[in-house]
């Protein structure tokens, strides 16, 4: 069974959250290995995510972006420091969160509707389950495809199914780990627009890991940039930017273009070449 489904079933007995929840990182550091071979990935991350906001997390490959998300969900634990959701420390896999990854990780022998239903809390009545799955499929524009199997749908439709499954338990915190990274450019833009609509209907707190600066500018309220200081292999917060304007944003806005240049430079990319 995939990691996402393990997460869903492991947390299925927890009550569904009804409101967006705040997330706080308190001096979070994460090391792997022991002794001389130990490698520190994150060092002293201290930050608060406001309930209901969309926070994008940017940074170079291997800087600990996904590690940070795993610490929120309880799929991993900090070496030092703590993560709190709504003031309560995360300890073990946390039912207040739901996760969607870059790969949809759908069960190939189940219909789209049944894959979405896997995200429902244990004990959900049949009538309520059917109604909630139907609402979610309509929200992600898959209601006409509910009976299809994963092999019969496109990559974008599979990712919409994964998003609907993550929302099925009405999480207070939605964790998205490069959810659109494997999609073609046009489908990716459509999925970004869909996420904005989904957030209006299910206003969870969203932590979005992405390598795409334009995606972060289009979706996020704030952007947290992870980076390494000279001589330190571990990453920490190097910059936090507030994105102006309300969603949906004009992708051609000159203000966003200036922020794009700033972000690319902070990531070590020559903005004049992109």
215-264 pLDDT, tens digit per residue, is 999 999 999 999 887 667 889 999 999 999 888 888 888 888 888 888 88
Residue-number span of the structural domain to which 217 is assigned: 3-273
Sheet holding 97-100, edge to edge: 88-89, 80-85, 23-32, 39-49, 235-242, 222-228, 54-58, 205-209, 173-177, 97-100
Is the separation of the CB atoms in 5 and 107 below 8 Å? Answer: yes
What is the C-alpha to C-alpha distance for residues 132 and 167, in angstroms, rounded to an integer?
10
**Percent of the chain's residues with pLDDT above 90:** 65
CATH of residue 97: 3.40.50.300
pLDDT at 16: 40
Specify the pLDDT at position 132. 92
**Range of lowest pLDDT (13-27, 50-64, 87-101, 190-204):** 13-27
Domain tally for the chain? Answer: 1
pLDDT given at position 253: 84
Sign of CA dihedral 155, 2, 138, 188: negative
Mean pLDDT of the chain: 87
Judged on CB neighbours under 10 Å (0-12, 13-18, 19+), 57 is: buried
Maximum Cα interatomic distance, the chain, rounded to a whole number of Å:
58
Residues sharing a CB contact under 8 Å with residue 218, sequence separation 6 or more, in sequence order: 192, 247, 248, 249, 251
- What does the pLDDT look like over 67-94, one tens digit per residue? 999 999 999 999 999 999 999 999 988 9
d(C-alpha 133, C-alpha 168), whole Å: 7
How far apart CA 45 and CA 254 sit, in angstroms, is 31
d(CA 239, CA 237) in angstroms, rounded, equals: 6
Taking 60 as the threshold, does the pLDDT of residue 17 lie above it? no
Q: Write the pLDDT tens digit of every residue in 146-198.
A: 999 999 999 999 999 999 999 998 999 999 999 998 899 999 999 999 999 99
List residues bridging with 222 in a β-sheet. 55, 242
Report whether pLDDT(10) > 50: no
Is the per-residue pLDDT at 6 higher than 50? no
- Helix intervals (H) in 60-154: 65-73, 112-117, 126-139
Between residues 159 and 60, the one the model is more confident about: 159
With a CB cutoff of 8 Å and minimum separation 6, the contacts of 199 are 54, 206, 247
Give the side-chain half-sphere CA count within 13 A for 190: 12
Question: Tokens 């969900």, residue?
Answer: 73
């Amino acid at each position: 069974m995939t990691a996402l489904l393990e997460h869903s079933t492991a947390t299925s007995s927890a009550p569904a959250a009804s409101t967006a929840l705040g997330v706080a990182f308190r001096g979070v550091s994460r090391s792997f290995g022991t002794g001389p071979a130990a490698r520190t990935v994150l060092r002293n991350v201290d930050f608060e995510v406001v309930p209901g906001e969309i926070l994008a997390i940017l940074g170079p490959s291997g800087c600990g972006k996904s590690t940070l998300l795993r610490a929120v969900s309880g799929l991993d634990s900090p070496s030092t420091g703590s993560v709190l959701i709504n003031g309560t420390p995360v300890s073990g896999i946390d039912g207040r969160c739901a996760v969607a990854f870059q790969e949809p990780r759908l069960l190939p022998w189940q219909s789209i509707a049944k894959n979405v239903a896997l995200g429902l809390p244990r004990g959900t009545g049949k009538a309520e389950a059917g109604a909630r799955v139907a609402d979610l499929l309509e929200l992600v524009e898959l209601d006409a495809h509910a009976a299809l199997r994963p092999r019969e749908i496109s990559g974008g439709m599979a990712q919409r199914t994964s998003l609907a499954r993550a929302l099925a338990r009405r999480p207070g915190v939605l964790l998205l780990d490069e959810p659109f990274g494997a999609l073609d450019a046009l489908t990716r833009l459509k999925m970004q627009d869909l996420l904005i609509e989904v957030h209006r209907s299910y206003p969870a707190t969203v932590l979005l890991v992405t390598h795409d600066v334009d995606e972060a500018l289009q979706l996020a309220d704030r952007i947290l940039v992870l980076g390494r200081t000279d001589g330190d292999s571990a990453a920490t917060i190097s910059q936090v930017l507030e994105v102006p304007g309300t969603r949906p944003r004009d992708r051609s806005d000159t203000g966003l273009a200036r922020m794009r240049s700033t972000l690319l430079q902070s990531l070590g990319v020559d903005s004049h070449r992109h």
